[in-house]
Chains A and B, each alone.
Chain A
């Protein structure tokens, strides 16, 4: 065999090996996964997004939110994500089966959003998008004011409640554009909640006010006291000692917050 033939074969072999390991076998293993039934809950998981939330996913992708935010949580033993209250369990391939494309990100300039839908409510998210520093003092997230419009006070029920320095001038109000509503509704749809066979959760007591505690330095004041953060659903988690399900706490389904009160 000549040297050229040998080199060609060696290189083709390396490519095919890499292709089989990282493309073909994962395709066979995960290419056709379907919805499943959560352990000890009779709910299907994951749930497909609503049309509005899918629109929001496009806004999220278009503006490159995934350049600063990840949507993947580390397990308890190799990261602080769960301890920070960003979620109750690690993320798995299962959690993303309806994501097209999955926007898992690779940088944490901002906090993880895999579970943001269970940590915040829609109004807070909208205010946060308009003026991040209202919610998180000292935030370095840019304001996404182009997702909102300022117009003369009308009869709209969905104007943002903003504190003084951020509020619109007298006689005007800030309301979200459809893109803003869609984006917030996509964020609300981000919830890693189904208990799966691979993630029998230990009873993790997340910080009672995960979103704020994780984000605000202790010495800074909460920006807007008129907009309290919703208590995360998992504060009521209790493990039943001794039973077979002790490792798998029940998730209390959280009520869908009223969008525009």
Chain B
């Protein structure tokens, strides 16, 4: 395999940059461009959903913009359009870079990434037309799900072949986090696809499987890609090793063991042993949580000036902090007595969103800010927009999270008292929901700033390539 990959090196047009950058440039940029577009769309839908939650009469007469559909489509696009697509791009980049290997079959990967976006469009339209499956985290109907599954198989397959054929003998934790994530997704996705669509499991089992799937999707698949890219960037940009590689491998294994539960709350209508197993596993995630805390603390080494010097470092470190907060919050909502209090409140929604937006998106921004100028050989066009993006994004996420956290605890406390009428509980939730809209608007604005930067650098690079192609053609013509 490696000889074949090495032979392809000779074909590369560019010799100034490493050939493995050339091999993955188009697929990775395609995947990240798609992810950026979907993030804008998803957050826009989320803002709309958030407004509809406290203004029930807003756009109430059109079926396809009813709250349930908008919420489902926002979650679907954020997970499948943005998160998983960005994961794939990140995975390919890190596997090529750390392994010093050319991407296996880059053209097929590019083609598959186009189809992936087709699958997301199809899924999104189907959900808006009322064909959602009703499972949180697995909203798309069969056709879209099949397209997405096949595309993942192709892209992840090429990524894993690249990983196996790596030329670098040293193993980095980030590679293993990412390789594990690529395979893990296939495992949980195929299980969910078969047991929810092909041979639907009986009754409540479908909910159990959907819950297990969405827990593994967020905590393991997205969590590993996010942690992998943070562990890739920290030592590289701080110019000192991760503290330590062994602890990072320990995190990998313990997280795979404990975060792969089903996240069932204490009152869920499942057999008691399942709820208890899920609860025990949830509480045990405090082991990897402590280990990551140790890595973050020791690697940063109180050198906050260096951490602040580079946007990728700042994003990575913020992502790591958000990850720890989100995991701690997940543990809180697993402890039986607290689980009963917060299980159906916006506390849980706040945790999920902090994980997806606060941690995962920031980890992706960190890597995209670091890698895109290298891939496209151009600096970021608007440096100030990068700062605007970071601060608006973090403020928005923090505001939304804080109000939903407090609102959720309040909602749970009020719900627990049967004497408090339900309308009072609902109306107590309105102020946090309004502040959440403000937070989401800030996030949307920040994403616009990010997208403006990303698509400008992409456009400039495309114009350059077109100009270079023209020059080559002209010189060929004049030569003949």
Contact = CB atoms under 8 A, between A and B. Distances in A.
Contact of A63 (B61, B66, B203): B66
Contact of B132 (A19, A61, A136): A61
Contacts of B430: 140
Interface string B244-285: 000001001100110011100011111100100110000000
A70 to B, nearest CB: 6
Nearest to B267: A74
- Residue of B134, B253, B257, B430 ringed by the most chain A CB atoms within 10 A: B134
Given A74-B340, A102-B203, A143-B57, A91 B269 contact: yes
Interface stretch (B227-235, B315-323, B410-418, B461-469): B410-418
Interface stretch (A9-17, A228-236, A238-246): A9-17
Interface string A1-41: 00110010011001101110111001101111100000000
B131 interface: yes
Given A84-B418, A92-B269, A144-B66, A11 B130 contact: no
A142 B256 CA distance: 41
A11 B249 CA distance: 11
A146 B62 contact: yes
A16 to B, nearest CB: 9
A67 B130 contact: no
Given A3-B171, A93-B271, A102-B207, A214 B212 contact: no
Given A23-B191, A91-B269, A140 B68 contact: no
Interface string A130-168: 001000111111111110000000000000000000000
Contacts of A63: 63, 66, 68-69, 130
Contacts of A79: 267, 340, 416
B269 A72 contact: yes
Interface stretch (B1-9, B48-56, B374-382): B48-56
A15 B260 contact: yes
Interface stretch (B83-91, B194-202, B296-304): B194-202
Given A26-B205, A107-B346, A217-B424, A66 B271 contact: no
Interface in A68-113: 68, 70, 72-75, 78-80, 83-84, 90-93, 95-104, 106-111
A184 to B, nearest CB: 16
A64 interface: yes
A73 B54 CA distance: 25
A174 to B, nearest CB: 13
B423 A30 contact: no
Nearest to A34: B202
Contact of A137 (B205, B345, B416, B423): B423
Contact of A62 (B130, B200, B206): B130
B63 A7 contact: no
B429 interface: yes
B423 A217 contact: yes
A258 interface: no
A29 B146 CA distance: 29
Contact of A142 (B52, B249, B422): B52
Contacts of A93: 203-205, 269-271
A146 B426 CA distance: 24
Interface in A26-60: 26-27, 29-33
B122 interface: no
A27 B62 CA distance: 40
Contact of B205 (A31, A62, A110, A141): A31
Contacts of A96: 203-204, 207, 269
A1 to B, nearest CB: 14
Nearest to B258: A14
Contacts, number: 219
B180 A101 contact: no
B184 interface: yes
A251 interface: no
B473 to A, nearest CB: 47
A19 B257 CA distance: 11
Interface string B164-176: 0000000100001
B155 interface: no
A85 to B, nearest CB: 8
B216 interface: yes
A107 B349 contact: yes
A65 interface: yes
Given A26-B274, A78-B266, A11 B66 contact: no
B206 A80 contact: no
A216 interface: yes
A213 interface: yes
B62 to A, nearest CB: 7
B151 interface: no
B310 interface: no
Contacts of A64: 66-69, 71-72, 132, 134
B134 A101 contact: yes
B208 A100 contact: no
Contact of B54 (A3, A10, A62, A140): A140
A132 B277 CA distance: 40
Contacts of A23: 191, 195, 209, 212
Contacts of A111: 422
A29 B203 CA distance: 12
B269 A140 contact: no
- Residue of A7, A17, A32, A70 ringed by the most chain B CB atoms within 10 A: A7
Contacts of A140: 53-54, 56, 426-427, 430
Given A31-B201, A108-B345, 5 more contacts: A63-B68, A63-B130, A79-B340, A99-B204, A109-B53
22 contacts: A15-B184, A15-B260, A22-B212, A23-B195, A29-B271, A33-B202, A65-B68, A66-B134, A68-B67, A78-B266, A93-B271, A97-B204, A101-B133, A101-B207, A107-B344, A132-B56, A137-B423, A138-B427, A140-B427, A142-B56, A143-B57, A218-B421
Interface of A: 3-4, 7, 10-11, 14-15, 17-19, 21-23, 26-27, 29-33, 61-68, 70, 72-75, 78-80, 83-84, 90-93, 95-104, 106-111, 132, 136-146, 213-218, 220
The 8 closest A-B pairs by CB, nearest first: A64-B68, A62-B130, A83-B418, A18-B260, A74-B267, A14-B256, A142-B56, A108-B344
